[in-house]
Amino acid sequence: MKEVAGGCCAAKGFSASGVHAGVRRNTSKKDLALIFADLDCTAAALYTTNLVQAAPLHVTKRNLAGGTARAVIANSGNANACTPDGEETAREICAALAKELAVRPDEIIINSTGVIGVPLPAGIVTDAIPALVKGLSRDGSDAAAAAIMTTDTCDKQAAAQVEIAGKTVTVGGIAKGSGMIHPNMATMLAFITTDAAITSEMLHAALRESNRVTYSRISVDGDTSTNDMLAALASGLAGNPPIGQKDDGYRAFLEALNHVNGKLARSIARDGEGATKLVSCLVRGADSEECAEKLAKGVISSSLVKAMMYGADANFGRVLCALGYSGAPFDPRRVDVSFLSSGESVAVCKDGMGLPFDEILARRVLSRDEVQILVDLRGGAFEAEAFGCDLTEKYVEINGAYRT
């Protein structure tokens, strides 16, 4: 497997574009994205676990009932959530795009991201659709990735290739996410494209498996949004034997999908609102992967751990505390904790008890822009890693004035 450029346009059969439609007041920012497939694709999607779900998700769920799609359209600046005419607006946008692309309205995946509770005038989006379609390009991933950004400080793209039965299969994608990020997906949109030949059932299965070890292992602030979506389109143009069961071809495809989703997920965690560093927690020696995952999520989701990381304060007691209330079983008397970054490490806890350590070294380790918390339970053979970020004053500033 190797990384390649091109984002959501890296796979055969896909083009993309992004324009400023006027949803956002800032005319220098793109706010409407489109991904288009040359031919019918198998398709699948996962959605937010929040019971309050935005109108576009309901429309997309109905559109994907048959397991196929041709296009993805998404706007930033307005979530089209919790408004009385939200679904009508989403359907109107799908109809206008379908007409311009000469496809059916039910072949379109639609989503939005931005402020909740403010009506989205359909005309703002539909008036921009001709320019959006005209701008479609095999090099359009940059524009599409920029158009779905809200408080993101950078776009998020990834692509990788893998060999399946002698054929080169490409998986690529774009994502957005910065705030309202918590395990079990979060305020994030991720759109994956691939030229693998794969059934919609297996594509959905792969998305579920991949999501569990990527997007569901990140947290910024403990909030889960109304608009979260992970969607995938597969053109089949790679020419591999169609993947219809969990065989070697499926496992190779899943490896590439995990690589792409993992890179996008870590980019989301790194770009948390106001964050200065990526923080990961690797839990080893657990009795099960589920146990390790729960413990790692508990640590990176802790506000006290996140604040500790911002201040570069090696207060390992906050890590132990987060492990203890995670709900996962472990023996506190066997826990070792270390902090690592850039090849340096400092051990701060052994057998659940504090160790004397070099405070200058610890501050240097914790001050870097990527820090790992290593927890060894010294028990079983399983491990899991989760990703988050530090918590800064800037997070409060951003969210204290998000709407205004």
The residues assigned a catalytic role are 187
**Distance (Å, whole) CA 349 – CA 64:** 50
Burial of residue 386, with CB atoms counted within 10 A of its CB: 0-12 exposed, 13-18 middle, 19 or more buried: buried
Q: What are phi and psi of 9, to 5 degrees?
A: -105, 5
Name the helix (H) or strand (E) containing 292. Answer: helix 289-301
DSSP structure class, residue 88: H
Q: For residue 389, what are the β-bridge partners?
A: 278
C-alpha dihedral (84, 85, 87, 88), degrees to nearest 10: 160
Neighbours of 399 (CB within 10 A): 16
Q: Report the SS3 class of residue 139.
A: coil
Whose tokens are 């340096």? That residue is 344
Asked if 218 and 237 touch (Cβ cutoff 8 Å), the reply is no
